């Protein structure tokens, strides 16, 4: 959430930045609300001053044995007005906050400007694109042929866009999770967290999933939501807390199942693991100071890339343009993995991780601040997160990049976790 004072004091800058995200800010509700809030606050302070003055006069008259009836009558009216003002001030604050909750974050100046993914900027490519002596198959075709993935059984159990992993296929999913967690905790210094798989309304509002993206969430009968990503519980881990600056940056990682309704995605990626209602993901999360957050974004990106490098899977990194960024992000890198079976065997890059810096946009919603080392006023932290990685899409990338005419070879880095070097029918 943007800071009201900053928005009103830098209105031209804010509106220009938001237009790059294709959002036209009408500041009139904010101006009106802020003016009413200030007027009410002034009247409230004046009435409270009157109450204090009259209280002193009442004590004085009591000592002198004089009547205080007129003062009590006067204070009854003042008390009623103070209550009315307090109620209206609370309503105005809620109106301002509700408005700001629907305003996206401002993109960082380094983000390329453009309306859609065509304006995304390629940063680098890594790895060698595999060549095959046969037409490469898609991962779901390979998985079903090997008997390690069953979409038909999953459909009977839960409907479309679910999968059942079988035998060594289930072990491959578990091996990938353990491999990623071990790399990030032992190699990159992240602290592992095992969070709840459900979250309340405030927590999802804190990460900006609510109110804008409620249609993409699964809501339980008691008002909780199944988490769409571990970003939600990790970001709220320090809700309403003050973190000492010397403890920053905090680097956290978590494996969770994730749940998304995929509202509005009818007809897209209906087969395979790319767009599932339930999927596994290892998340990376950082809390950082404003001065260090963009350095931490580069580190987080590098940590996510390392997974693919060790698995020897080719990929590219792109900086998302303003029109392709998420609602809450100030800057986002996408890691796109190469899937040779896509596009009729011609291959295509597909997103496997988004690494974002939200600056203080989420921290204001969650109310997570830090206390500077040298003293001074507490400040909001910057939050960052990224997939490290989406497990199902990594699974798909292994099947497609390491396929041969007999089955699938297992990347060397994963063999100790799986105990085999290949999967055959």
How confident is the model at residue 265, as a pLDDT?
Answer: 62
3-class SS of residue 133: coil
| pLDDT tens figures, 231-258 | 999 999 999 999 999 999 999 999 999 9
pTM above 0.85, yes or no: yes
Give phi and psi for 29, each to the nearest 5.
Answer: -60, -35
Strands 331-339, 191-192: pairing is unpaired
pLDDT at 118: 97
pLDDT digits (tens, 9 = 90+) for 10-29: 999 999 999 999 999 999 99
342 and 119 Cβ atoms separated by less than 8 Å: no
Please state whether beta strands 149-150 and 191-192 pair in parallel, antiparallel, or not at all (unpaired): unpaired
Give the integer Cα–Cα distance in Å for 146 and 404.
12
User: What percentage of the chain reaches a pLDDT higher than 70?
Assistant: 98
The pLDDT tens digits for 214-232 are 999 999 999 999 999 999 9
Q: Single out the residue of 390, 423, 419, 389 nearest to residue 407, CA to CA.
A: 423
User: Residue 267 — pLDDT band, cuts 50, 70, 90?
Assistant: low
Mean pLDDT of the chain: 96
- pLDDT tier, 266 (very low <50, low <70, confident <90, very high otherwise): low
What amino acid positions are annotated as catalytic residues?
Answer: 260, 275, 351, 354, 393
1 near 365, Cβ under 8 Å? yes
Contact of 201 with 223, CB cutoff 8 Å? yes
Q: Which domains does the chain carry? A: 26-100 (1.10.287.40), 117-423 (3.30.930.10)
The string of pLDDT tens digits covering residues 201-216 is: 999 999 999 999 999 9
Alpha-carbon Rg of the chain, whole angstroms? 27
Residues 352-387 pLDDT 10s:
999 999 999 999 999 999 999 988 899 999 999 999
Sign of CA dihedral 206, 207, 213, 218: negative
Would you state the pLDDT for residue 280? 98
């Amino acid at each position: 959430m943007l800071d009201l004072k900053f928005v009103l004091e830098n209105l031209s800058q804010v509106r220009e930045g938001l237009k790059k995200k294709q959002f036209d800010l009408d500041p009139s509700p904010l101006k009106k609300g802020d003016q009413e809030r200030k007027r009410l606050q002034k009247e409230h302070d004046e009435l409270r001053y009157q109450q204090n003055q009259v209280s002193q006069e009442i004590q004085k008259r009591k000592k002198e044995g004089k009547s205080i009836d007129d003062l009590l009558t006067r204070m009854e009216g003042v008390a009623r007005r103070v209550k009315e003002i307090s109620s209206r001030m609370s309503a105005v604050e809620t109106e301002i906050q509700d408005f700001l909750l629907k305003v996206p974050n401002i993109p960082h100046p380094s983000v390329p400007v453009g309306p859609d993914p065509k304006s995304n900027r390629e940063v680098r490519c890594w790895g060698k694109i595999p060549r095959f002596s046969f037409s490469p198959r898609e991962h779901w075709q390979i998985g079903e042929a090997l008997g390690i993935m069953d979409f038909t059984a999953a459909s009977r159990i839960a409907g479309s866009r679910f999968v059942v992993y079988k035998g060594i296929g289930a072990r491959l999913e578990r091996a990938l999770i353990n491999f990623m967690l071990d790399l990030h905790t032992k190699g990159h210094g992240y602290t592992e967290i095992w969070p709840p798989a459900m979250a309340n309304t405030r927590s999802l509002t804190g990460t900006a999933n609510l109110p804008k993206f409620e249609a993409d969430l699964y809501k339980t009968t008691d008002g909780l939501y199944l988490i769409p990503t571990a970003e939600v519980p990790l970001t709220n881990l320090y809700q309403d807390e003050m973190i000492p600056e010397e403890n920053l940056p905090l680097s956290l990682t978590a494996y969770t199942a994730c749940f998304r309704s995929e509202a509005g995605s009818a007809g897209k990626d209906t087969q395979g693991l790319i767009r599932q209602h339930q999927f596994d993901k290892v998340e990376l999360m950082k809390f950082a100071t404003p001065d260090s957050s963009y350095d931490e974004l580069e580190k987080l990106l590098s940590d996510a890339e390392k997974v693919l490098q060790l698995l020897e899977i080719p990929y590219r990194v792109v900086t998302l343009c303003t029109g392709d960024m998420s609602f809450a992000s100030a800057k986002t890198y996408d890691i796109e993995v190469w899937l040779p079976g896509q596009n009729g065997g011609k291959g295509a890059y597909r997103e496997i991780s988004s690494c974002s810096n939200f600056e203080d946009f989420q921290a204001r919603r969650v109310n997570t601040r830090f206390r500077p080392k040298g003293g001074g006023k507490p400040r909001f932290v910057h939050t960052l997160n990224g997939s490290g990685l989406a497990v199902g899409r990594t699974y798909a990338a292994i099947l497609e990049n390491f396929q041969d005419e007999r089955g699938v070879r297992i990347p060397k880095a994963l063999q100790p976790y799986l105990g085999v070097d290949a999967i055959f029918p």
